[in-house]
Structure 1
């Protein structure tokens, strides 16, 4: 089952996570800001349900169109005994409004106390992990992902989430272990191959990094993150022209993204002088 929570931060989180793993190609780049002011954060297409019924439908349905109203509905629903379902919708509304740390704390509490099934609780822990990543707290994201994996240990999305947290913490060997497991479960997961390539690169393992990135691009030729990473690997190998082509294509595919920002910075640095890692 593909966990909806992974989609939660696919825009704001995935690019920032890739930045954390891929940063250092030219100079150490900070992750892109996770929250764009005045824009609500993206939410999963189908949040894990801790409750059903008309109140849940209304509250969850408002998350995308009016998170402030969703929060108000969640508070009213909770006052009427809405329990974990109301609390969960309220936490997602807080996240959509950009209060990432507060949302992460709430989501962790809800997942810990809920009497829902293992899969639903794991999904809420995973949402907490992603919110912690957005808040710049990779160690807490790692802890929340680990709690999720105790509930559903064979979930490749959770394994990728934890690997990203590990990579952000500089724990690349451990990240590779999680990505190995995720790819054993789902060999066609291009994003896992991209993250593992970046981890291999940081471990000075250029050949497995190249193999992984070529596999990722064979699966998804228009994967902007994979092109960014291949450009880095090509530059390290002295292929400046190949690197330039990859970075320009990444910008073309994802023009308004943190991936494009990194590609543009690498292009500028490539033109400015010798490569430095």
Structure 2
């Protein structure tokens, strides 16, 4: 299973609404600062521009964030640098920087603090440190108890650390608050799959498909669970359906691989027959 972190938009929204006041005072723009592509001081505006540039051109965003900092950008500029680090793939540095910004940028707003902690947790998860990510998500949940996205994120980190029952607990709580979350049903199905609770896994997948019919990711997972439960013929039917629904997508490619590996006479059928995705680790998915 894969997951996209939901917390960058919340960080930007919170800071744009006033948390930016905790940063160093902005310096008035000069004519040179007005050149296209440069961040110009002003609450929210620079950070939104930085976030977009950090994803598209992290090296350029890093250079401009440093220049913005020299002009008095303060913690907003440092956050810009953290986002650029993240998109450059320097996840440990990004996670460390984001954690360090919580006491200032999140000082007066629990939601902003939780957003930064959530983003830091995602960085550490991408860095391969599921335990640290789980702890950061826990701190974020202390700021905004019961937040559904954070519960799902912590469940994802727990599953990456193979704490599957703890992941199920978080997902139970998330779905109790919002039973319309198809993604949460799929994550819980994946946890049950890892625990060999195949009946519960299929039930969760069916709930997800009620909410999001013909979702190739859900049907792929259902096929994989069926294969593990010993019903390879039904699994192959699901995988063939995924191939029709997503012939060029990652789910379709994973289904094609499963079909190939479980063809008659293939040596590696059985417990490892079902491959969930062509990108098996969350850290390979863009945030």
In 2, the alpha carbon distance for the partners of 1:79 and 1:153 equals 37
Unaligned segments of structure 1, at least 5 residues: 1-13, 19-41
1:133 to partner: Cα distance = 1.6
Render the CA deviation track for 1:194-235: whole Å, top value 9, x for unaligned: 111111122222222111110011111232321221011111
Match in the other structure for 2:27: none
Q: Which residue of 2 aligns with 1:101?
A: 92
Structure with larger Rg: 2
- Given the alignment of the two structures, is residue 67 of structure 1 paired with residue 36 of structure 2, yes or no? no
Shift of 1:145: 0.9
Report what 2:72 is aligned to.
81
Change in 2 beyond 3 A, CA 1:55/1:195: closer
Where structure 2 has 5 or more consecutive residues not aligned to the other structure, the ranges are 21-42, 273-287
Q: Secondary structure of 1:136's match?
A: coil
Pairwise CA distance, 1:262? 4.1
Deviation, structure 1 residue 122: 0.8
**Cα deviation 1:94-125 (Å, max 9, x = unaligned):** 11222222111111211244324111111111
- Asked if 1:209 corresponds to 2:166, the answer is no
Q: What is the total number of aligned residue pairs between the two structures? A: 239
Q: TM-score under structure 2 normalisation? A: 0.74
After TM superposition, the score normalised by the length of structure 1 is 0.76
Task: Give the Cα–Cα distance (whole angstroms) in 1 for the partners of residues 48 and 165 of structure 2.
Answer: 43
Gap change, CA 1:256 and 1:102, over 3 Å in 2: farther
- Residue of structure 2 equivalent to 1:91: 82
Of 255, 270, 274, 2:248 maps to 255
Give the conservation status (yes or no) of the 8 Å contact 1:201–1:209: yes
Q: Specify whether residues 110 and 249 from structure 1 end up closer, same or farther in structure 2 by C-alpha distance, changes over 3 A only.
A: farther
Does the 8 A contact of 2:65 with 2:81 survive in 1? yes
Deviation at 1:237, TM superposition (A): 3.1
1-structure distance, mates of 2:180, 2:99: 30
Describe how 1:95-134 pairs up with structure 2 within 5 A: 95-114=86-105, 115-134=107-126
